[in-house]
Chain A
Amino acid sequence: QVQLQESGPGLVKPSETLSLTCTVSGGSISSYYWSWIRQPAGKGLEWIGRIYTSGSTNYNPSLKSRVTMSVDTSKNQFSLKLSSVTAADTAVYYCARTLSIFGEDWFDPWGQGTLVTVSS
C-alpha cells in the first residue's frame, strides 16, 4: 500500500524559506495529485496546495504568493517551499495523496506529519 513520509528541517528562521519533501513508497507517484496540508498546534487543518505529476499546481489563495511546489517522478518525491515564513507558519505539515474527480478532492493516505517551527 502507498505510504508517504515527510522530511526537512524542523526549525526555520523568520523571513527564510521552509522546504519540505514527501517521499512516496509502495506505489508510483504518477497519475495522481499530491497535496500539502498543515495544522498549527491545537488547531484545525489548512490545505496549502496540490501538484499533479505533470507539474501542474493549484494553491490556496491565502498562501499562493509564498508557495511553490515541485515534483520529481524519478525519485517518487514532491516538494513544498514556503517563503518569508513567520511564527504563524509554525505547524505540523502533512503530505497526502489527493484523489480528484471532477475537480473535487479528498485525501488518502496521509504522511505521518512533520513539525516545523519558525523561530530565531
Chain B
Amino acid sequence: VMTQSPAFLSVTPGEKVTITCQASEGIGNYLYWYQQKPDQAPKLLIKYASQSISGVPSRFSGSGSGTDFTFTISSLEAEDAATYYCQQGNKHRITFGQGTRLEIK
C-alpha cells in the first residue's frame, strides 16, 4: 500500500512544492512519480525514486528509499497544475498512491 500526502495543495507560482509517499513495506528505490493533467494520460517524471527522465524539466526531482519518498518541484510554474501520483512496482503487486491534486493560486 502506498500512502501519499497531501491530497490537495494550493501553491503560488515560484514556491517550492513537496509531496510525500510512504510504502507499507520497504521497496528499495523502486518508486516512480507521474504527472496527470486534466483529461490527459499520466506522464512519467521520475524513476527509481530520484532519476530524472529525459525531457522532463529539472525543477522536478525525487528522493528517498525504503519506505519514505519525496517528490519536489523546486519553483512552481503555472503549467504544473496537475495531479501527481507515486507508484511502486513490486513484483506484480503494482499500486499507485491516491494522488495529490496541485492547484496554482
Contact = CB atoms under 8 A, between A and B. Distances in A.
**What bracket does the count of chain B residues touching chain A fall in?**
20 to 34
Interface residues of A, number: 22
Counting chain A CB atoms within 10 Å of each CB, which of B43, B47, B92 scores highest? B92
30 contacts: A44-B96, A44-B97, A44-B98, A45-B42, A45-B85, A46-B96, A47-B94, A47-B96, A50-B92, A60-B94, A61-B93, A99-B47, A100-B89, A103-B91, A104-B30, A104-B90, A105-B92, A105-B94, A106-B32, A106-B44, A106-B87, A107-B44, A107-B87, A108-B44, A108-B53, A109-B41, A109-B43, A110-B42, A110-B43, A111-B41
Interface of A: 44-47, 50, 58, 60-61, 94, 99-100, 103-113
